[in-house]
Amino acid sequence: MNTIQRHAIAAACLACAVLALLYATAGAVKPTGTWKWFDIASEGGTALVALAWCMIVLASRPDGRVTRLLSLGLAAIGAGSWADCLDEMFSVDKAALWDNALEALVPLGMVVLTAGMVYWRQEQATLTEHLKKRERLFRDHRAFDRVTQLADAGYLRAQLARQRGGCALVLLDIDGFHRINREHGQAEGDRVLQAVSHMLLLNLRCDDLLCRYAGDRFAVLMPGLTDAAAHDAARHLCVMVAMMRHHAGGTPVPLTLRHSVALTDGAAARSPDTVLADLCRQVDAA
């Protein structure tokens, strides 16, 4: 059990105790013969289930808007259900505003929970799109780059050789990557490569293929793009990476990319190695 769960359980127990004390002091205990045990069991059970679901959400998700909305909605449903349960055992003036407000927690919690589920659906759609872009990397059981889990240069060359239509190839190079390794260590350099690869994937089409070509260089195969469209796409990728806020041990690390673009066709005379060598020379000269 993590710290968040322990705090949530403590808060739930305190809230239940406060509500029980409130009903005990502001109302009168009903004769047990008039208690509706089925209603008590169902409303009390709803409160326990809502609390359990709240614990599951807090334990299985990172903090954020979706987690907070889901947990707050479930907490409100649990508190409202517990108040309904206590209302079966204590007689309270029906005109009491606080009693009506507590009963309104259940529909209010359902509204908050619904909002959380809407944002959760949007979050899942983004993750699904990201996974679709990575799906090609797992399809053929080929070798992966150890750090970024992207396809390697060998797979990129094979795909270039198979191209039979118009295709753009973009080569991206991280500026000053050697300084990051020297000043912050190789482990931090690997984190930079992973962060950049994730940002690139999020800004590519599902049909684009992202590979780690070598070192701090990435290659993107973009089918069906003209030269102008490929240059626009490459500039967009560079801008998105430059907007990242990467930190190494609390120190901000600015990240910028250089790029070069070429149109290629597997049926053309130039081999994949020739195309890649030309792109590398252009990047080096940039």
SS3 call for 146: coil
Mean pLDDT calculated for residue range 147-165: 83
User: Do 61 and 35 belong together in one domain?
Assistant: yes
Co-location of 241 and 272 in the same domain: yes
Put simply, whether the predicted model's pTM sits higher than 0.85 gets the answer no
Task: Tell me what pLDDT residue 200 has.
Answer: 93
What would the DSSP string read from start to end of 168-226?
EEEEEEETTHHHHHHHH-HHHHHHHHHHHHHHHHHTS-TT-EEEEEETTEEEEEEET--
Output 172 or 274, whichever has higher pLDDT: 172
20: containing domain: 3-133
Residue type, 119: Y
> How large is the average pLDDT for residues 35-61?
87
**In this structure, are 237 and 269 located in the same domain?**
yes
Q: What CATH number corresponds to the domain at position 271?
A: 3.30.70.270
Q: Same domain for 173 and 109?
A: no
pLDDT for res 216: 92
Q: Which of 103, 133, 163 is the last residue of a domain?
A: 133
The answer to whether residue 48 scores a pLDDT higher than 60 is yes
Predicted confidence (pLDDT) per residue in 218-232, tens digit: 999 998 888 899 999
Q: Based on the domain organization, do 269 and 218 belong to the same domain? A: yes
In order of 68, 124, 204, 263, the CA distances from 73 in angstroms are 8, 19, 35, 53
Total structural domains within the chain: 2
C-alpha angle 48/53/54, rounded to 5°?
95
Amino acid 135: pLDDT:
65
Same domain, 107 and 155: no
Phi and psi for 141 in degrees, rounded to 5? 55, 40
- Percent of the chain scored above 70 by pLDDT? 92
64 with 156, same domain?
no
Report the distance separating Cα 30 and Cα 16, nearest Å.
19
> What is the CB neighbour count within 10 angstroms for residue 108?
16
- Over range 118-128, report the average pLDDT: 87
pLDDT value at residue 205: 87
Judged against a pLDDT cut of 60, whether residue 125 lies above it is answered with: yes
pLDDT exceeds cutoff 80 at 27: no
What distance in Å separates the CA atoms of residue 101 and residue 89, rounded to the nearest whole number? 18
pLDDT (mean) for 256-278: 80
Same domain, 189 and 108: no
The separation between CA 259 and the C-alpha centre of its own chain, rounded to angstroms, equals 28
Residues 82, 37 contacting (CB under 8 angstroms): no
How many alpha carbons fall within 13 Å on the CB side of residue 208?
A: 22
Q: Which one-letter amino acid corresponds to residue 102?
A: L
Residue whose token pair is 């003036």: 93
- Among 98, 133, 168, residue at a domain's last position: 133
Distance between CA 165 and CA 162 in Å, rounded?
A: 9
pLDDT at 141: 45
Check whether residue 108 and residue 50 sit in a common domain: yes
Q: Which of 100, 133, 166 is the last residue of a domain?
A: 133
Instruction: Looking at the structure, tell me whether residues 21 and 40 fall in a common domain.
Output: yes
